[in-house]
Protein backbone atom coordinates (compact mmCIF):
# COMPACT_ATOMS: atom_id res chain seq x y z
CA UNK A 1 0.00 0.00 0.00
CA UNK A 2 1.25 3.48 -0.80
CA UNK A 3 0.08 6.77 0.55
CA UNK A 4 1.15 9.80 -1.49
CA UNK A 5 4.16 8.01 -2.86
CA UNK A 6 5.37 6.64 0.50
CA UNK A 7 5.26 2.93 0.80
CA UNK A 8 3.92 1.72 4.15
CA UNK A 9 5.62 -1.34 5.51
CA UNK A 10 3.57 -4.12 6.88
CA UNK A 11 3.28 -3.57 10.71
CA UNK A 12 3.96 -7.25 11.33
CA UNK A 13 7.24 -7.11 9.44
CA UNK A 14 8.48 -4.35 11.81
CA UNK A 15 7.72 -6.59 14.84
CA UNK A 16 9.74 -9.57 13.63
CA UNK A 17 12.57 -10.48 16.08
CA UNK A 18 11.22 -8.39 18.99
CA UNK A 19 10.06 -11.47 20.86
CA UNK A 20 13.47 -13.09 20.39
CA UNK A 21 15.16 -9.95 21.70
CA UNK A 22 12.86 -9.88 24.74
CA UNK A 23 13.64 -13.54 25.43
CA UNK A 24 17.40 -12.91 25.22
CA UNK A 25 17.16 -9.94 27.60
CA UNK A 26 15.12 -12.07 30.02
CA UNK A 27 17.73 -14.84 29.91
CA UNK A 28 20.48 -12.26 30.53
CA UNK A 29 18.68 -10.85 33.60
CA UNK A 30 18.02 -14.36 34.92
CA UNK A 31 21.71 -15.31 34.44
CA UNK A 32 22.91 -12.24 36.32
CA UNK A 33 20.55 -13.11 39.16
CA UNK A 34 21.81 -16.70 39.32
CA UNK A 35 25.44 -15.50 39.36
CA UNK A 36 24.61 -13.11 42.23
CA UNK A 37 23.03 -15.99 44.19
CA UNK A 38 26.12 -18.15 43.65
CA UNK A 39 28.33 -15.28 44.86
CA UNK A 40 26.21 -14.81 47.97
CA UNK A 41 26.34 -18.55 48.66
CA UNK A 42 30.15 -18.53 48.40
CA UNK A 43 30.37 -15.56 50.78
CA UNK A 44 28.05 -17.26 53.25
CA UNK A 45 30.11 -20.47 53.12
CA UNK A 46 33.33 -18.51 53.72
CA UNK A 47 31.77 -16.71 56.71
CA UNK A 48 30.49 -19.99 58.16
CA UNK A 49 33.89 -21.64 57.88
CA UNK A 50 35.55 -18.60 59.48
CA UNK A 51 33.05 -18.71 62.36
CA UNK A 52 33.77 -22.42 62.84
CA UNK A 53 37.52 -21.79 63.11
CA UNK A 54 37.01 -18.87 65.50
CA UNK A 55 34.70 -20.83 67.81
CA UNK A 56 37.09 -23.80 67.73
CA UNK A 57 40.03 -21.52 68.66
CA UNK A 58 38.02 -20.00 71.52
CA UNK A 59 37.08 -23.45 72.80
CA UNK A 60 40.70 -24.65 72.64
CA UNK A 61 42.00 -21.57 74.49
CA UNK A 62 39.38 -22.02 77.22
CA UNK A 63 40.23 -25.72 77.42
CA UNK A 64 43.91 -25.14 78.23
CA UNK A 65 43.05 -22.32 80.65
CA UNK A 66 40.69 -24.71 82.46
CA UNK A 67 43.45 -27.29 82.74
CA UNK A 68 45.77 -24.63 84.11
CA UNK A 69 43.21 -23.61 86.76
CA UNK A 70 43.04 -27.21 87.95
CA UNK A 71 46.85 -27.64 87.87
CA UNK A 72 47.88 -24.30 89.45
CA UNK A 73 50.89 -25.81 91.18
CA UNK A 74 52.49 -26.65 87.81
CA UNK A 75 51.74 -23.49 85.81
CA UNK A 76 55.37 -23.13 84.75
CA UNK A 77 55.07 -26.42 82.82
CA UNK A 78 52.49 -24.88 80.50
CA UNK A 79 54.72 -22.15 79.04
CA UNK A 80 55.50 -22.75 75.38
CA UNK A 81 58.00 -21.17 73.06
CA UNK A 82 56.43 -19.49 70.03
CA UNK A 83 56.89 -21.41 66.82
CA UNK A 84 58.56 -24.42 68.44
CA UNK A 85 55.91 -26.91 69.58
CA UNK A 86 58.51 -29.71 69.69
CA UNK A 87 60.23 -27.91 72.57
CA UNK A 88 57.29 -28.26 74.96
CA UNK A 89 58.53 -28.48 78.55
CA UNK A 90 55.79 -30.88 79.71
CA UNK A 91 53.04 -33.14 78.41
CA UNK A 92 49.88 -31.03 78.99
CA UNK A 93 50.68 -28.22 76.54
CA UNK A 94 52.14 -30.65 73.99
CA UNK A 95 48.95 -32.72 73.94
CA UNK A 96 46.94 -29.51 73.66
CA UNK A 97 49.12 -28.21 70.81
CA UNK A 98 48.53 -31.48 68.95
CA UNK A 99 44.76 -30.96 69.39
CA UNK A 100 45.03 -27.40 68.06
CA UNK A 101 46.98 -28.70 65.07
CA UNK A 102 44.36 -31.36 64.37
CA UNK A 103 41.38 -28.98 64.60
CA UNK A 104 42.69 -25.78 62.96
CA UNK A 105 44.36 -25.44 59.55
CA UNK A 106 48.07 -24.57 59.40
CA UNK A 107 48.41 -24.09 63.16
CA UNK A 108 52.03 -25.28 63.17
CA UNK A 109 55.46 -23.74 62.77
CA UNK A 110 55.25 -19.96 62.95
CA UNK A 111 51.49 -20.30 63.53
CA UNK A 112 51.88 -22.64 66.51
CA UNK A 113 49.84 -21.73 69.59
CA UNK A 114 51.62 -19.96 72.42
CA UNK A 115 51.12 -19.86 76.19
CA UNK A 116 52.79 -17.06 78.13
CA UNK A 117 52.67 -16.64 81.91
CA UNK A 118 53.53 -13.54 83.95
CA UNK A 119 53.54 -13.77 87.75
CA UNK A 120 53.06 -10.67 89.92
CA UNK A 121 53.43 -10.41 93.67
CA UNK A 122 54.19 -13.15 96.15
CA UNK A 123 52.45 -15.26 98.75
CA UNK A 124 48.76 -14.56 99.30
CA UNK A 125 48.80 -11.57 96.92
CA UNK A 126 50.37 -13.50 94.05
CA UNK A 127 48.51 -13.29 90.74
CA UNK A 128 49.43 -15.03 87.55
CA UNK A 129 48.41 -13.60 84.20
CA UNK A 130 48.07 -16.26 81.52
CA UNK A 131 47.94 -15.33 77.83
CA UNK A 132 46.95 -18.04 75.36
CA UNK A 133 47.35 -17.23 71.67
CA UNK A 134 45.87 -19.62 69.11
CA UNK A 135 46.80 -19.00 65.46
CA UNK A 136 45.62 -20.56 62.22
CA UNK A 137 45.62 -19.81 58.50
CA UNK A 138 42.50 -20.74 56.55
CA UNK A 139 43.04 -22.56 53.25
CA UNK A 140 43.46 -20.15 50.35
CA UNK A 141 43.98 -17.19 52.69
CA UNK A 142 47.24 -15.27 52.98
CA UNK A 143 46.59 -13.77 56.41
CA UNK A 144 47.00 -15.52 59.73
CA UNK A 145 44.01 -15.35 62.06
CA UNK A 146 44.40 -15.52 65.82
CA UNK A 147 42.45 -15.70 69.05
CA UNK A 148 43.99 -14.35 72.25
CA UNK A 149 42.61 -15.21 75.68
CA UNK A 150 43.98 -13.50 78.79
CA UNK A 151 43.04 -14.54 82.30
CA UNK A 152 44.20 -14.12 85.90
CA UNK A 153 44.90 -17.23 87.97
CA UNK A 154 45.17 -16.53 91.68
CA UNK A 155 46.71 -18.69 94.36
Q: Which helix (H) or strand (E) holds 6?
A: strand 6-7
Task: Express each pLDDT in 88-103 by its tens digit.
Answer: 656 677 788 888 888 9
6: exposed, middle or buried (Cβ count in 10 Å: 0-12, 13-18, 19+): exposed
Phi/psi at 142 (5° precision): -95, -15
Whole-model pTM? 0.72
Q: How confident is the model at residue 82 (pLDDT cuts 50, 70, 90)?
A: low
Task: Express each pLDDT in 8-59 by its tens digit.
Answer: 566 555 667 788 889 999 999 999 999 999 999 999 999 999 999 999 999 9
Report percent pLDDT > 90 for the chain: 39
Inter-CA distances, 150 with 16, 114, 128, Å: 74, 12, 10
Task: Express each pLDDT in 54-80 by its tens digit.
Answer: 999 999 999 999 998 888 888 888 888
Cα separation of 31 and 81, whole Å? 53
Amino acid sequence: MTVKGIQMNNPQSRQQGVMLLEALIGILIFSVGILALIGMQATAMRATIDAKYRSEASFLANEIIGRMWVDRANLANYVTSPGTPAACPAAPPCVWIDRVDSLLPRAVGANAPEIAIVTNGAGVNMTTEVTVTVRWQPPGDTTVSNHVAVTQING
